[in-house]
A and B are shown apart, each in its own frame.
Chain A
Amino acid sequence: MSNIITTPVSRRTMLRRASQLGFMGAAAPLAINLAGAAEAAALGANDYRALVCIFLYGGNDHGNTLIPYDPINYNRYSGIRGQVGILQKYLSPLKTRTPQTLTDDIQYSFPPYAPRLKLLFESGKLATQLNVGPLITPLTLQQYKSSNRALYPLPPKLFSHNDQQSVWQALGSEGSTIGWGGRMGDLAMAGNGHALLTCISAAGNAVFVSGENALQYQISPSGAIAVKAIQGLPYGSPAISEALHQLITRPSEHKLENELAILARRSIEMEGVVNTALAKVDIKTSFDQLSGPNPLADQLKIVARLIGARKELGSKRQVFFVTLDGFDHHSGLSEKHVDLIKKLDEAMAAFYIATVELGMQREVTAFTASDFGRTLVNNGDGSDHGWGSHHFIMGGAVKGGRFYGTAPHVSVDTDDQVGQGRLLPSTSVDQYAATLAHWFGVPDHEMATVLPNIGNFSNRNIGFV
């Protein structure tokens, strides 16, 4: 896979250099224009690629997502997990595409209620990244325990939901305004027919898809929402319709009011564009195979439809964000986690099949992320906030049927965990993200602008896609 984004110097890099050199004088606008032009030309590629972040809000219990299968490791697991462990009789070993030897000769199983993910894994469309989590630099347990934070910095506010969501999405604690999906969007937006359709959330507001220049566009599972009173005749009156349009879109000197007007203009303008394009896309793949609602499946379906509308919309590079919520299983883990993994299984498989239906499976890569992993130790009927976790990468370009990274010991006292089985990550979010970004087309020299800490890690391409 070759890189598509080949601009030697991005607009942002140019701006940064300009300010560093202190020549923000008359030459600056020209430099910016040149940079912009170069970016646009380089992004005039005629292929398509999309990254889809599936965020599992609440902190997925990795211990019951990837379960030790071989007797020795299973017994360790069972001993630590107590009543939240899954019985071995329900497990079956995952077959890798080529033989792989992992830590302690561990063999893994998916939970029995994820049959579709197992099928995807064994057919090579799904890869598993082991023990990935936020890190500033590579870190040993000894360094973690050291008091020298200047030398061994820690990610901010470990184990806290809102902050670790933000760290996963934006590499900084809550309050960060630019996510790494958005940073990729900054590089890609000039090549798209509609810059606003570069970074899209189908799950409400998320910093992941917010860039320095790229805005996050919000879409609902049913498509873009029209303001009916503008399109129709509210209470039988065209004058009301006109007044409404004017009121909600006109500029204001009050900044908060003005931002609302900007949002209204964007909402109204894009609704027409998006829904016109979506109307021409018909996806036959069923996203509703199991009983009960599945909000993740609904979100992934609209993402698939937008990918189907890529030509109409002139989209070349897109970053999507979807979510499944409710993973904070301090209690009731055994029942609640089952239900969510079933939904994840249903939704991810349907999405993959839909990309096949569109003939786009090699151009679309989906991956999971979550606040954090959890303790391996149980608290009775649940588990507590952890750090590193296991994640999935799915798509036709994925080198699946394989485990990437280092398998952690099934343990509460080895040096790959910080207590109670909270995993000390052996792969950083930056490395995980850089691998995805490389596939997306971010050139090596831009990688540090997308992922500021990537320079601290020697392996910048894990190779799963």
Chain B
Amino acid sequence: MRSISETDAARFLLRAQFGTSEAEIAAVRAQGYDAWLEAQFASPRGQSGIDWLDAHGHNAVAKDVKYFDPTPGNYMIWNQLIGQPDQMRQRCAYALSQFTVVSLNPIDGFWPPYMLAGWWDVLLEGAFGNFRDLIEHVSLSPAMGMYLSTKGNLKEDPKTGRQPDENYAREVMQLFTIGLHELNPDGTERKGADGKPIETYGQDDIMNLARVFTGYDHNMDRVKYQTVAWQNYPVVSHEFCVDPMKLDPKKHSQLEVRFLGLTIPANTPGPDALRLALDHLFAHANVGPFFGRQMIQRMVTSNPSPAYVGRVAAAFNDNGKGVRGDLKAVWRAVLTDPEALDPPADPLGGKLREPVLRILGWARTCGAHSDTGAYEIYSTERADEGLGQSPLKSPSVFNFYRPGYVPPHTEIAKAGRVAPEFQIETETSLAGYINFLQWSLRWGYKDVKPTYAALRAIAHDPAAVVAWLNLHLSGNQLSDATCALIAGALASKTVTAASSDSEKLDRIAAACLLVMSAPEYLVQK
């Protein structure tokens, strides 16, 4: 095996997690990729979002009725992504959050932050587990139940003509498992005799599968009801945000279910019907290439070769020990594929780093920290004054951008390539992002502030500052000319080892601003 350079290690870390540190770069170089990955898979979980919310008083029942306020859901997820030690698990869960999507946006009622924390726990727990378990936990998640309306989904009623809700049945196929078209093992579309793609399912499949998801509602078994003076109904405790949804057999359809060639007989008990249906979806040949290709897109490149997709799908189909759906095998295949590790040569290679990943990379690398522990970072979704994107706040179940997005009028389109993240890169968001950086890099966001520990010591040396950022934020993607341009601009104001902290921080923030605005950094290769 060839030795791993500093650049190789940083480049790997910027995909496998958010940021880089000296110690992590050294660890990757010393251990090698596989052993480093094994160590991450074996490392303990950080504090859960639920525990964090409890610890910061967001469980308070008081007259200000904060239990209806979704806002601390943002604090919770930013704390998880920036502050919790299980960084690779967080990174993988973030990738999953763009595949099986739930958004804080429409979640209302009691305890929305807990609802989101419960959801995040499903993804964190599932990240290093098996896809089959993940998809079951996703299906029964109380947050997903609210988001795609499995919660309260009732069986058909011949008297009134009421029909089961089709929402989840549709999206679990279209988005979470098999997709619209039959795929070859390498992710390319199969073609029918007429030369056209073959659709995986039809409306009848959806209407049948919808019966499987009837009868579920939030599980209130562990919930305590507290009578309060300021409202005429009790305040419930938040266990229902974590516990999987509960089946009420009386509300569950007993009709036969026929979908995708499977027949679930009439009167099959609900839990068995769910198991059979999810087993059937999980066994579909599309899942490996459909899921695998999107995970490559989230972590490595927008346009993986069919061979690369095929290798990742093969790892999904069999982890080497005969197990299908082992996500650890998927991450290893995505991150250590030759196409990922080889030096980039393709002038259309890589992917646009999305705004949330830019800010997380910076925050982790530059030691963003909250003295109060509050993490009062609000939604950053506005494009004109934020990042144009905020974690767990997708505008719809279709994620912030689509895996097949083609930016019109570009060389990317002419080459027949896709560039998903370009869907949220606009005249507005481009400027809004740089404006967001200008303030945040220098002063932080509310209580979350950068420490810049490694950079303060070398702030008097512009070239050293740029070299450090180039390695740690971009895996040495900036050209010598770009580094020289940035260093020259930094040198225009004198900073010495004896300069004030404020002068040093001005220089460090300016350096980060220039690096993080540069296209050579923005495109992760």
B422 contacts the other chain (CB 8 A): yes
Taking CB atoms, residues of chain A closer than 8 Å to B154 are 379-380
Cβ A256 vs Cβ B163 within 8 A: no
Least CB distance, A180 to chain B, in whole angstroms: 14
In the complex, A379 Cα to B148 Cα: how many Å?
Answer: 13
Cβ A222 vs Cβ B384 within 8 A: yes
B167 contacts the other chain (CB 8 A): yes
Cβ A224 vs Cβ B203 within 8 A: no
| A220-B383, A227-B435, A379-B166 known; A237-B489 Cβ under 8 A | yes
Interface residues on A, range: 35 or more
In the complex, A259 Cα to B140 Cα: how many Å?
Answer: 42
B226 contacts the other chain (CB 8 A): no
| A234-B510, A255-B415, A379-B166 known; A215-B482 Cβ under 8 A | no
Taking CB atoms, residues of chain A closer than 8 Å to B419 are 256, 259
In the complex, A286 Cα to B435 Cα: how many Å?
Answer: 29
B374 contacts the other chain (CB 8 A): no
Cβ B427 vs Cβ A252 within 8 A: no
Least CB distance, A172 to chain B, in whole angstroms: 12
Cβ A259 vs Cβ B427 within 8 A: no
| A160-B180, A377-B162 known; A331-B149 Cβ under 8 A | yes
Cβ B347 vs Cβ A263 within 8 A: no
Cβ A246 vs Cβ B485 within 8 A: yes
In the complex, A204 Cα to B400 Cα: how many Å?
Answer: 11
Least CB distance, B171 to chain A, in whole angstroms: 9
In the complex, A158 Cα to B170 Cα: how many Å?
Answer: 12
In the complex, A136 Cα to B203 Cα: how many Å?
Answer: 19
A107 contacts the other chain (CB 8 A): no
Residue of B nearest to A268 (CB): B431
Taking CB atoms, residues of chain B closer than 8 Å to A210 are 408-409
Cβ B153 vs Cβ A379 within 8 A: yes
Taking CB atoms, residues of chain B closer than 8 Å to A375 are 163
A319 contacts the other chain (CB 8 A): no
B517 contacts the other chain (CB 8 A): yes
A-B contact count (CB 8 A): 230
Cβ A162 vs Cβ B402 within 8 A: yes
In the complex, A243 Cα to B438 Cα: how many Å?
Answer: 14
Cβ A267 vs Cβ B427 within 8 A: yes
Taking CB atoms, residues of chain B closer than 8 Å to A240 are 489-490, 492, 510, 513-514
Taking CB atoms, residues of chain A closer than 8 Å to B424 are 204-205
Contact mask for chain B residues 120-150; partner A; CB cutoff 8 A; 1 contact, 0 none: 0000000000000000000000000000110
In the complex, A341 Cα to B295 Cα: how many Å?
Answer: 38
In the complex, A384 Cα to B167 Cα: how many Å?
Answer: 7
Partner of A244, one of B163, B514, B519: B514
Cβ A178 vs Cβ B522 within 8 A: no
Least CB distance, B8 to chain A, in whole angstroms: 20
| Cβ < 8 Å to B, chain A residues 281-305 | none
Cβ A225 vs Cβ B428 within 8 A: yes
Cβ A256 vs Cβ B412 within 8 A: yes
Cβ B430 vs Cβ A263 within 8 A: yes
In the complex, A239 Cα to B492 Cα: how many Å?
Answer: 6
Cβ A257 vs Cβ B431 within 8 A: no
Partner of B435, one of A159, A225, A331: A225
In the complex, A345 Cα to B384 Cα: how many Å?
Answer: 26
| Cβ < 8 Å to A, chain B residues 167-205 | 167, 170, 174, 180, 199, 203
Least CB distance, B311 to chain A, in whole angstroms: 24
Cβ A248 vs Cβ B517 within 8 A: yes
* Apart from A224-B428, A229-B434, 8 more pairs, CB < 8 Å: A247-B485, A254-B350, A256-B419, A257-B523, A377-B162, A379-B165, A380-B154, A384-B166
Can you list 9 contacts pairing A with B, beta carbon distance less than 8 Å?
A216-B408, A217-B427, A235-B510, A248-B519, A254-B350, A254-B525, A261-B519, A325-B395, A379-B163
Residues of A within 8 A of B (CB): 57-58, 79-80, 82, 157-163, 174-175, 177-178, 204-205, 207, 210, 215-222, 224-229, 234-240, 242-244, 246-248, 252-264, 266-268, 270-271, 325-326, 328, 330-331, 375, 377-382, 384-385, 412, 420
The 10 residue pairs across chains A and B that have the minimum distance between CB atoms: A239-B492, A243-B489, A257-B519, A220-B384, A218-B426, A267-B427, A225-B431, A331-B149, A330-B167, A330-B149
